[in-house]
């Protein structure tokens, strides 16, 4: 089940809200209702894989209790943390990466020595596995109190707004809310507004641009000997995908945050207008914030971060610098692997490693470079990086890159590109405009009351605006404009 579907918006969500508020006299009953609804939400399309989640909840609850009980015994506590990592990464490896590893082993030896029947990929396994890992590690570090009631561990891991595609929630940020959150109509109404805007971003903008991106990438994947994709068309398809993936993923975060507010939860922001960044380093502080924070807290800093301790003596600065390079390499290798079991994702992670390292070595962010130049540099790095992310294989990625820069002698002008622009200029324009924080600044002006009567008029028509967005979105859905969220694959 997905948020941007008729069954969710008109059946599951209303029923869940009604049941939740009918249980308003008891927080315990509300939590039971939410857990049952979350399990139903996941089991709707994954009836067997819900057992994987239940197993994850059970084992990580046990690991949390054990590591808290034996905290003073450092060797035993560390052994439990090792078992926690092995268990969680083991589940992720079997379902997401084992087939990829076996395929490459067979390619390496030149014959099908090993056979593997792919069991399918449980939705959101990368997200809820990372949440479960962070819970046990934070209990070990004493950054979160152990939850001895498995019910609350289950609600934390299975909470349906953030279950399938994040944001990745740390237990310390939500532990108190599980029992003591406070509902208000202001919070509920702001949640409804945020959810509606997310629905509009997904269905109206992301899905519409996906049609363009899919068409162009599929043409390029056909092979440059079959279909010549002019550079103009290739750049248009890549721009469409650049907008699509941002609005697709950020819209899910908007809907998740909005749904959380409807039930009294406050989830942290996951995007902060990343395309306005002036460096790759800044981009990753604004894009998928919860994932970047997770790797920083649980991989980069434990490895030593930017200031790893090394033995004193000759060559100390060089060894320190090499360890920083190693730490960055490990983080970006894992970032690529986390996104998918394919070499194209690994290359995508290494692409960012190269530029993050380049910016660190040259201290690029400290130099007095014109903002326009920095912004163009950032956009070129990110946009070209999306070629590896979107392509089905490395071969397809290099064909697409060749089409971008006319290396295939494919020409520049494209009549099909002009047709796409004519049909989708509104979605492309909205994508560019809403990638900038114009709406945020507009909201601040409204709150500050600096817009006078125009601001008051907008506040009066805002509910009508949201209703219009919702109706248009539903109309698109009824017409069959459906695309699953990109990050459901992760």
Catalytic machinery residues: 339
Q: Residue 350: count other Cβ atoms within 10 Å of its Cβ.
A: 15
Category of 124 on φ-ψ map: left (φ > 0), alpha (ψ -120 to 50) or beta: left
Alpha-carbon distance of 229 to 88, in angstroms, equals 43
Q: Which residue has the tokens 């622009």?
A: 421
Torsion of CA 263, 269, 270, 276, to 10 degrees: 140
Category of 141 on φ-ψ map: left (φ > 0), alpha (ψ -120 to 50) or beta: alpha
Widest pairwise Cα distance in the chain: 74
Q: Residue 163: count other Cβ atoms within 10 Å of its Cβ.
A: 21
CA distances from 454 to 220, 439, 445 (A): 48, 15, 11
Buried b (16+ CB within 10 A) or exposed e, 185-222: eebbeebbbbbbbbbbbbbbbbbbbbbbbbebbebbbe
Alpha-carbon distance of 49 to 355, in angstroms, equals 38
Residue 409 token pair:
């002698």
Alpha-carbon distance of 5 to 206, in angstroms, equals 14
Q: Residue 281: count other Cβ atoms within 10 Å of its Cβ.
A: 16
Report yes or no: 406 and 229 within 8 Å, Cβ to Cβ: no
Report yes or no: 451 and 458 within 8 Å, Cβ to Cβ: yes
Q: Residue 22: count other Cβ atoms within 10 Å of its Cβ.
A: 11
CA distances from 59 to 35, 96, 102, 178, 252 (A): 17, 20, 27, 20, 28
């Amino acid at each position: 089940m997905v948020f941007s579907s008729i069954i969710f918006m008109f059946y599951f969500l209303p029923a869940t809200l009604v049941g939740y508020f009918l249980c308003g006299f008891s927080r315990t009953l509300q939590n039971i209702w939410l857990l049952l609804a979350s399990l139903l939400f996941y089991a709707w399309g994954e009836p067997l894989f819900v057992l994987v989640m239940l197993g994850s909840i059970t084992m990580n609850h046990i690991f949390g209790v054990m590591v808290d009980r034996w905290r003073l015994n450092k060797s035993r506590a560390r052994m439990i943390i090792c078992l926690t990592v092995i268990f969680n990464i083991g589940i992720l490896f079997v379902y997401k990466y084992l087939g990829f590893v076996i395929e490459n082993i067979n390619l390496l030896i030149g014959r099908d020595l090993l056979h593997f029947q792919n069991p399918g990929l449980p939705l959101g396994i990368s997200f809820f596995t990372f949440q479960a890992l962070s819970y046990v590690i934070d209990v070990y570090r004493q950054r979160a109190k152990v939850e001895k009631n498995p019910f609350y561990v289950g609600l934390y891991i299975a909470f349906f707004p953030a279950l399938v595609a994040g944001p990745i929630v740390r237990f310390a940020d939500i532990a108190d809310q599980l029992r003591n959150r406070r509902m208000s109509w202001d919070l509920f109404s702001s949640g409804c507004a945020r959810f509606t805007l997310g629905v509009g971003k997904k269905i109206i903008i992301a899905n519409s641009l996906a049609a363009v991106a899919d068409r162009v990438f599929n043409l390029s994947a056909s092979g440059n000997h079959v279909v010549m994709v002019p550079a103009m068309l290739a750049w248009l398809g890549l721009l469409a995908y650049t907008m699509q993936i941002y609005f697709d993923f950020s819209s899910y975060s908007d809907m998740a945050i909005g749904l959380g507010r409807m039930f009294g939860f406050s989830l942290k922001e996951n995007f902060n207008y990343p395309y306005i960044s002036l460096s790759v380093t800044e981009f990753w502080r604004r894009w998928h914030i919860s994932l970047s924070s997770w790797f920083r807290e649980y991989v980069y800093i434990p490895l030593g971060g930017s200031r790893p301790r090394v033995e004193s003596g000759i060559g100390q600065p060089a060894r320190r610098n090499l360890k920083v390079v190693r730490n960055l390499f490990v983080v970006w290798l894992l970032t690529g692997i986390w996104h998918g079991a394919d070499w194209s994702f690994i290359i995508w992670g290494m692409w960012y490693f190269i530029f993050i390292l380049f910016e660190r070595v040259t201290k690029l962010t400290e130099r007095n470079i014109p903002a326009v130049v920095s912004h163009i540099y950032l956009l070129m790095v990110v946009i070209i990086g999306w070629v590896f992310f979107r392509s089905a294989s490395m071969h397809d990625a290099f064909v697409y890159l060749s089409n971008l820069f006319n290396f295939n002698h494919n020409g520049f002008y494209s009549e099909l590109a002009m047709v796409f622009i004519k049909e989708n200029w509104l979605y492309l324009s909205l994508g560019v405009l809403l990638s900038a924080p114009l709406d945020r600044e507009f909201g601040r002006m409204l709150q500050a009351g600096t817009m006078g009567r125009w601001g008051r008029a907008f506040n009066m028509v805002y509910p009508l605006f949201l209703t219009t967005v919702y109706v248009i979105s539903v109309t698109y859905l009824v017409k069959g404009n459906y695309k699953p969220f990109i990050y459901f694959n992760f």
